[in-house]
Structure 1
């Protein structure tokens, strides 16, 4: 596996820059797999939360290289659009079903029902599922506007009493979904989603944060340089002692440009 070219820490967040996207994915998969093994060794099972979207393709591609005890792993996901059915091409349930459940066959996959008749009730149901036992590991990314899950700038609550809530999507987040090819037009993107909140994310034992691509470079730089606040929700990751931010040269580029000399 490729070794990182740079490793550094900002507050408690450990950042690692890999030579290419493939190396990033391999490192993310290795960290995720180790967290699963550690959890199983410690208490006989593991509870994992898996993000979706383009940033998670590298880790999913590399995760098949690891022989994991999926028969004792329970999987959750981070978010789902309100009003989207499970077979919609942009559904996060569909993403996880095809890339996690059908590929790895975990013991259980708990899905957020995006087209539940009562979104608030669905948020409460999923909240209760997440709280049944500690979350061992989360594989996640950072949005172009600095969101984590769908906790949007200035709307995220770092002290949210809920672990899942209905959220209004920022226009930048909606446009990102179009640019990634998940919806044909901006107006096709739902205005709301069900999202795991920041306190739920930070409750997990390990956070594996994969962020490839140049379009995420500004968000990465803001995550590492701005004050910890809801203006950039991803800055909350700097408060987690086992959060690992995995980058490659393009996603690292804006932050690198702010340094007087390369971080070694």
Structure 2
């Protein structure tokens, strides 16, 4: 595990985007193509702003994403399909991509998505950490055992509160009760994982991640078991860990 603490969210996004670009460039050079998984949400704004400017042959990149609400139309402001189309796909030349569809025949959608994902390994996964330490929509207590690449989960109240707090929904009751998410085991199969986690609202989740051993009540602890995981923080998201002595000042990079 490598931890990088930057001064602010924009510097975090720029550094993580440069790192992600290097990983994808290496995959394209080695095999002529690269497979990428993207996360969404307010924590990824700065990363995506810089990432879409990357010097990459995007036509050789295939994109998947982590999750989507069940029965939420793509036209809704909180739709992650809408998010990625507007913040990523509209700005790059990615020709092959799979968007998680939570409408219609959800079981069939998942089967088709699983088949496509299983065609080849994922070179790079951008994996956020939620305020309740969830990974994708694997809320605590997370299922660490399912082998399905994507499956349907019930959303925890703490997860719904985060979505309201970020402004995607007006009330907790407006948040869908279920979502399709990439499973923990599938995420951990990615060759490289980068986590962009800025902002003070994530400080406690980061502290819990760093100070605890593997437990499904803190799903993000699983990421520490990945051999190539880099966690990008800003001063705000690192604050509780710095105060607890889990990270040390002055700090740019820390390995544990």
Q: TM-score range by the shorter chain?
A: over 0.9
Unaligned runs of 5+ in 1: 1-12
Kindly provide the CA deviation profile for residues 68-105 of structure 1, in whole angstroms up to 9, marking residues without a partner as x.
11011111110000001122111000001111111112
Give me the CA root mean square deviation: 1.3
- Asked if 1:184 corresponds to 2:180, the answer is no
Report the Cα distance in structure 1 between the residues aligned to 2:150 and 2:246, rounded to whole angstroms. Answer: 41
- Asked if 1:20 corresponds to 2:8, the answer is yes
Report the Cα distance in structure 2 between the residues aligned to 1:146 and 1:231, rounded to whole angstroms. Answer: 8
- Asked if 1:143 corresponds to 2:130, the answer is yes
The residue that corresponds to 1:231 in the other structure is: 217
Does the 8 A contact of 1:15 with 1:246 survive in 2?
Answer: yes
The residue that corresponds to 1:169 in the other structure is: 155
Does the 8 A contact of 1:52 with 1:96 survive in 2?
Answer: yes
- Asked if 1:114 corresponds to 2:112, the answer is no
Kindly provide the CA deviation profile for residues 90-127 of structure 1, in whole angstroms up to 9, marking residues without a partner as x.
1000001111111112021111111123x233222212
The residue that corresponds to 2:254 in the other structure is: none
The residue that corresponds to 1:76 in the other structure is: 64
Report the Cα distance in structure 2 between the residues aligned to 1:222 and 1:140, rounded to whole angstroms. Answer: 17
The residue that corresponds to 1:86 in the other structure is: 74
**Which SS does the other structure have where 1:250 is aligned?**
coil
Does the 8 A contact of 2:122 with 2:190 survive in 1?
Answer: yes
| 1:65 Cα deviation from its structure 2 partner | 3.3
Report the Cα distance in structure 2 between the residues aligned to 1:187 and 1:158, rounded to whole angstroms. Answer: 27
TM-score calculated relative to the size of structure 1: 0.92
Unaligned runs of 5+ in 2: 252-256
TM-score calculated relative to the size of structure 2: 0.94
Over 3 Å off, 4+ runs = none
Kindly provide the CA deviation profile for residues 231-257 of structure 1, in whole angstroms up to 9, marking residues without a partner as x.
110000001111110001110011111
Report the Cα distance in structure 2 between the residues aligned to 1:262 and 1:69, rounded to whole angstroms. Answer: 38
The residue that corresponds to 2:120 in the other structure is: 133
| 1:159 Cα deviation from its structure 2 partner | 2.5
